[in-house]
Chain A
Amino acid sequence: MAQSIAIDTTFWGARVLGVAAVERELTRLRRAVIAHALEQRLVAARASVLNLIVYAEREVHARRAAKSISELALRHPSRAIVVLADRGAREDVEARIEMHCHLPAADNATQVSYEQILVRARGDSRQRVASAVIPLLVPDLPVFLWWTGAPPVGGPPFGDLLGVADRLIVDSSDFARPDLALPSIARICSQARGLFGLTDLNWTRLTPWREMVTSFFDVPAWRPFLETTTGVRVGFAVDMDGRDIHPSQALLFIGWLASRLGWRRVDELAPSEAGGLLFAIARADGARVMVRVRPRFERGLEEGDVSGIRVQAERDGQRAEFVVKRQPDERHQTSTVLIDGRTRWERTVPLPSPAIVELIGEELAILGSDRTYEEALAALVRLS
């Protein structure tokens, strides 16, 4: 009955017994690398600038995370502690912790820059996880906690691990129920203000969109339109059948606008259309902004990714539209300004790759909290 996942030791390294044994084994592996470097008259060093704890309940997530981190090792040398836990409390499996460790061979033999430890938590090990992870952290280095899936509201091991983390990384595109998960993240965020920062990879994916939208209003002639926005349309990708609806990214964009522009509450909520949303928001001056968030099928896009944004505004009898679109080649973004239906300006720029490696790489450079995100999230929660 109790079918445990066999651990692939070629990927995760040999099984070791206990924290002290992990350290011994890593030291041994490190020395082997250093000795090898010395033979070639190179100076080898151990580099490590952060601890990264990954929590996953599926091996595929754990493995994907580990691979991403190892690819980042030269930019962000780290010790990664990947926790792979059984989903839920399984009473048929004895609760216990097993550990594996590994020093993946780097291209650059002069540096030991990535140490990987797998903490396999079997059965109902919720209470045990933190006690196995915390002693493995390299002292004095910041701790990032990357939680795959929607984080639970509290309790072990989430609460325990969060207690030692400087930054929590989540990916709201993975959330099955963003309407529940986003508010709970916002709560975690406001409760722990100052204790740790929060990052949503989905927010990072939004960065090029935010940059493009912001850049419209750097132009003095167009700046005033921002105050008189009348409508916002955001398209996001769904699969062909339109079954998997993940509007988190699009919603975060709305939340961001609302928090920046002082938009308040929803005036009226129109019935959702084909998995999308249609609603009205009150501008700072009380006027209404119509917001439409719409799912679209687009080949090559990850579900949930924003595919296009259109901001509409009226001022002094002029109708302006600010449009940002993804090019069909997926590698470029085009932004267009239309005044009274006529294209005034257009430009195309490269769109950064949304690969998870890049996203994580960006995030690991930041230690403090991302106030803009936190405010966008809070605004979004207020709106809904």
Chain B
Amino acid sequence: MIFGGSGDLAMRKLMPALYNLALQRLLPAAFCVVGTARRPLSDAAYREELRLAVSQHSRTKPLNEEVWRSFAENLHFVATSDDRGYGKLRETLDRLDHELGTHANRLFYLATPPPAYASIVRAIGEHRLRGDTGWARVVIEKPFGHDRESARELTEILHTVFREDEVFRIDHYLGKETVQNILVMRFANGIFEPIWNRQYVDHVQITVAETIGVEERAGYYEQAGAMRDVVQNHLLQLLALVAMEPPAAFDDKAVRDEKVKVLRVLRPITGDDVRMNAVRGQYGRGFIEGVAVNAYREEPGVARDSRTETYVALKCWVDNWRWEGTPFYMRTGKRLPKRSTEIAIQFRAAPHQLFSREASEGLEPNALVLRIQPNEGISLKFGAKVPVQGIRIRSVNMDFDYGASFMVEAPDAYETLILDALRGDATLFTRRDEVDQQWAFVDPIMEAWGASPTDPPIYEAGTWGPIEAHVLIERDGREWRKA
């Protein structure tokens, strides 16, 4: 069941993901998709729209007509603009259950704008769409509320119809191969975990950089900003995965328990600390990949005096035994020079400098970099002797390139996550208490910024954020990596 079945998300992500799952023979034998939206649409017209969307957005091309035909036979559409529509929806679901023998196992995917969540959940309850037998799960997209309070309200609404273990909050970052690989790298290998702590790690940098501007999302983005759009979910998730303790098992409870523990000890940035440890910025005019681009305030749908932040840099502390004294620097922004998501673990320098200053001029501290996108991979930076007479040291990279090592294209995050949701594996989804802790961290900063009389500093599009962000890290004698 996809609510918002003819919307952008369904067209660009969900349907191509489902189609690719079908292509890989990963969908169950008896399976169908019912899309719903306000505007009326026949099954045939719906299928045709989806066909176009999938052939355009699928990661595998061209469309396999045979597979599509059989997949499309199980696509249905019901318009739900009123109670009658929901009644019809229920009839359709019951009929399909009967035909396919699916025992009313139902996955509800809320692919609508967040304001519609409440009424949809209510309707699912009132019209008893959950069915009497079988399982029911609901997948919802971020944002999960706009602050701690509203996130709690949303959870309460969801809980009127679904139990917490039936709620799958999706953060598509967690579906990425390389993000899951953080856990594999840390906990399937013996050599990293012993040095994964304050004793060896000088600091950690997490970067989520985009080159795109606000595009068509101004309506949402004006309210959200970079903090709610990226920090609250993606950045804090990455932080949790890097900083967490080894879970006892790779299951949804153990993994998420450990993540929550990290979020709980993430030192809040409040009051005066905000000025010191949190930097916001908003992009001005500039150039991206050689093309002149507008300032944020010139974008369609954005207020001319908007104070929404499009850039955030933070210095955080994880107050526990493992990380005492090791700062985590995080940054995210739009209209930065390059699209890049990565986590860099920067290790301490060798304790004793054996080589002359001149010889080691090209030497940088060891760093382990987990590249999430693009060019997924891992690289380890270390010093090596340059092949000349005498000693001259330079940093070199030992590189692991995902694509070149496995020679297969990684599945799209949505494929992974939808399949997990169908299987009922919630490991890669965000639990209520995680969301709650994420907001507990974000809210005080947003409050301080909201109360501040000044505008966010402007940075030129195509640069790495405002000068304040550089000050934030250079004050500590460190610098942002050249991502």
CB < 8 Å neighbour of A135 from B338, B361, B369, B394: B338
B140 at the binding interface (Cβ < 8 Å): no
- Residues 266-305 of B contacting A (Cβ, < 8 Å): 286-292
A139 to B482, CA, bound (A): 6
**Partner-contacting stretch, out of A125-133, A228-236, A295-303, A352-360:** A125-133
Separation in Å of the A235 CB from the closest CB of chain B?
Answer: 30
A137 to B361, CA, bound (A): 21
- Taking A20-B339, A23-B375, A125-B290 as contacts, is the C-beta distance between A137 and B482 under 8 angstroms? yes
In the complex the two chains form, is B482's CB within 8 Å of A35's CB? no
- Taking A31-B404, A139-B342, A140-B381 as contacts, is the C-beta distance between A131 and B289 under 8 angstroms? yes
A49 at the binding interface (Cβ < 8 Å): yes
B211 at the binding interface (Cβ < 8 Å): yes
A97 at the binding interface (Cβ < 8 Å): yes
In the complex the two chains form, is A140's CB within 8 Å of B211's CB? no
Contact string against B for A residues 154-169, beta-carbon threshold 8 Å, 1 for contact and 0 otherwise? 0000000000100000
B403 at the binding interface (Cβ < 8 Å): yes
Q: Which of A49, A96, A125 is most buried by chain B, counting CB atoms within 10 A of its CB?
A: A49
In the complex the two chains form, is A20's CB within 8 Å of B374's CB? yes
A42 at the binding interface (Cβ < 8 Å): no
Which chain A residue has the least Cβ–Cβ distance from B293?
Answer: A131
B195 at the binding interface (Cβ < 8 Å): no
Which chain A residue has the least Cβ–Cβ distance from B399?
Answer: A46
Which chain B residue has the least Cβ–Cβ distance from A139?
Answer: B483
In the complex the two chains form, is A135's CB within 8 Å of B337's CB? yes
A118 to B314, CA, bound (A): 36
Q: What's the dominant secondary structure at chain A's contact region? A: mixed
- Taking A30-B404, A128-B292, A365-B388 as contacts, is the C-beta distance between A140 and B287 under 8 angstroms? no
Which chain A residue has the least Cβ–Cβ distance from B344?
Answer: A140
In the complex the two chains form, is B291's CB within 8 Å of A134's CB? no
B259 at the binding interface (Cβ < 8 Å): no
- Residues 167-204 of A contacting B (Cβ, < 8 Å): none
- Taking A18-B289, A140-B369 as contacts, is the C-beta distance between A135 and B211 under 8 angstroms? yes
CB < 8 Å neighbour of A139 from B395, B404, B481: B481
Which chain A residue has the least Cβ–Cβ distance from B483?
Answer: A139
Q: Which residues from A are CB-within-8-Å of B446?
A: none
In the complex the two chains form, is B290's CB within 8 Å of A139's CB? no
B401 at the binding interface (Cβ < 8 Å): yes
In the complex the two chains form, is B404's CB within 8 Å of A140's CB? no
In the complex the two chains form, is B362's CB within 8 Å of A142's CB? yes
Separation in Å of the B143 CB from the closest CB of chain A?
Answer: 27
A87 to B248, CA, bound (A): 64
- Residues 95-133 of A contacting B (Cβ, < 8 Å): 96-97, 119, 121, 125, 127-132
Q: Which of B290, B362, B396 is most buried by chain A, counting CB atoms within 10 A of its CB?
A: B290
Tally of chain A residues near chain B (CB < 8 A): 38
In the complex the two chains form, is A128's CB within 8 Å of B291's CB? yes
Separation in Å of the A342 CB from the closest CB of chain B?
Answer: 35
In the complex the two chains form, is A131's CB within 8 Å of B462's CB? yes
Contact string against B for A residues 24-48, beta-carbon threshold 8 Å, 1 for contact and 0 otherwise? 0001001100110000000001101
In the complex the two chains form, is A131's CB within 8 Å of B388's CB? no
Q: Which residues from A are CB-within-8-Å of B339?
A: 20, 135
Which chain B residue has the least Cβ–Cβ distance from A98?
Answer: B290
Q: Which residues from A are CB-within-8-Å of B403?
A: 27, 31
B407 at the binding interface (Cβ < 8 Å): yes
In the complex the two chains form, is B481's CB within 8 Å of A140's CB? yes
A240 at the binding interface (Cβ < 8 Å): no
A127 to B362, CA, bound (A): 30
A366 at the binding interface (Cβ < 8 Å): yes
B340 at the binding interface (Cβ < 8 Å): yes
In the complex the two chains form, is B392's CB within 8 Å of A19's CB? no
Contact string against B for A residues 327-343, beta-carbon threshold 8 Å, 1 for contact and 0 otherwise? 00000000000000000
CB < 8 Å neighbour of B407 from A35, A46, A164: A35
A367 to B358, CA, bound (A): 10
In the complex the two chains form, is A132's CB within 8 Å of B481's CB? no
In the complex the two chains form, is B362's CB within 8 Å of A134's CB? no
In the complex the two chains form, is B392's CB within 8 Å of A128's CB? no
A19 to B386, CA, bound (A): 31
In the complex the two chains form, is B337's CB within 8 Å of A131's CB? yes
In the complex the two chains form, is A365's CB within 8 Å of B290's CB? no
Separation in Å of the A260 CB from the closest CB of chain B?
Answer: 17
In the complex the two chains form, is A368's CB within 8 Å of B362's CB? yes
A23 to B394, CA, bound (A): 26
- Residues 366-392 of B contacting A (Cβ, < 8 Å): 367, 369, 371, 374-375, 379, 381, 386-388, 392
B397 at the binding interface (Cβ < 8 Å): yes
Q: Which residues from A are CB-within-8-Å of B392?
A: 365-366
Separation in Å of the B301 CB from the closest CB of chain A?
Answer: 24
In the complex the two chains form, is A368's CB within 8 Å of B361's CB? yes
Q: Which residues from B are CB-within-8-Å of A23?
A: 374-375
Q: Which residues from A are CB-within-8-Å of B381?
A: 140
Q: Which of B386, B387, B482 is most buried by chain A, counting CB atoms within 10 A of its CB?
A: B482
Q: Which residues from A are CB-within-8-Å of B374?
A: 20, 23
A141 at the binding interface (Cβ < 8 Å): yes
Q: Which residues from B are CB-within-8-Å of A46?
A: 399, 401, 404
Separation in Å of the A168 CB from the closest CB of chain B?
Answer: 15
A137 to B401, CA, bound (A): 16
A98 to B42, CA, bound (A): 45
Q: Which residues from B are CB-within-8-Å of A20?
A: 339, 374
A86 to B401, CA, bound (A): 36
In the complex the two chains form, is A134's CB within 8 Å of B358's CB? no
A132 to B397, CA, bound (A): 24
In the complex the two chains form, is B482's CB within 8 Å of A96's CB? no
Separation in Å of the A89 CB from the closest CB of chain B?
Answer: 15
- Taking A135-B338, A139-B340 as contacts, is the C-beta distance between A121 and B482 under 8 angstroms? no
Q: Which residues from B are CB-within-8-Å of A30?
A: 404
In the complex the two chains form, is B369's CB within 8 Å of A132's CB? no
Separation in Å of the B194 CB from the closest CB of chain A?
Answer: 24
- Residues 202-230 of A contacting B (Cβ, < 8 Å): none
Q: Which residues from A are CB-within-8-Å of B371?
A: 139
In the complex the two chains form, is B407's CB within 8 Å of A131's CB? no
In the complex the two chains form, is A97's CB within 8 Å of B388's CB? no
Q: Which residues from B are CB-within-8-Å of A19?
A: 211, 289, 338
CB < 8 Å neighbour of B287 from A127, A137, A365, A369: A127
Which chain B residue has the least Cβ–Cβ distance from A125?
Answer: B290
Separation in Å of the A169 CB from the closest CB of chain B?
Answer: 15
Q: Which residues from A are CB-within-8-Å of B338?
A: 19, 134-135
In the complex the two chains form, is B290's CB within 8 Å of A131's CB? yes
A119 to B291, CA, bound (A): 13
A97 to B288, CA, bound (A): 11
The 3 A-B pairs of least Cβ separation, nearest first, read A368-B361, A97-B290, A367-B362
- If A18-B289, A128-B292, A365-B388 are given as contacts, then 19 extra A-B residue pairs at C-beta distance below 8 Å, sorted by A number, are A23-B375, A30-B404, A31-B403, A31-B407, A46-B401, A49-B394, A96-B290, A97-B289, A130-B287, A130-B462, A131-B286, A131-B289, A132-B287, A132-B290, A139-B342, A140-B395, A140-B397, A140-B481, A365-B386
Q: List 26 A-B contacts (CB under 8 A).
A: A19-B211, A19-B289, A20-B374, A46-B399, A46-B401, A49-B394, A128-B290, A128-B292, A131-B291, A132-B287, A132-B289, A132-B290, A135-B211, A137-B482, A139-B342, A139-B482, A140-B379, A140-B481, A140-B482, A141-B397, A142-B395, A143-B482, A365-B386, A366-B392, A367-B394, A368-B362
Which residues in A have some Cβ–Cβ distance to B below 8 Å?
18-20, 23, 27, 30-31, 34-35, 45-46, 48-49, 96-97, 119, 121, 125, 127-132, 134-135, 137, 139-143, 164, 365-369
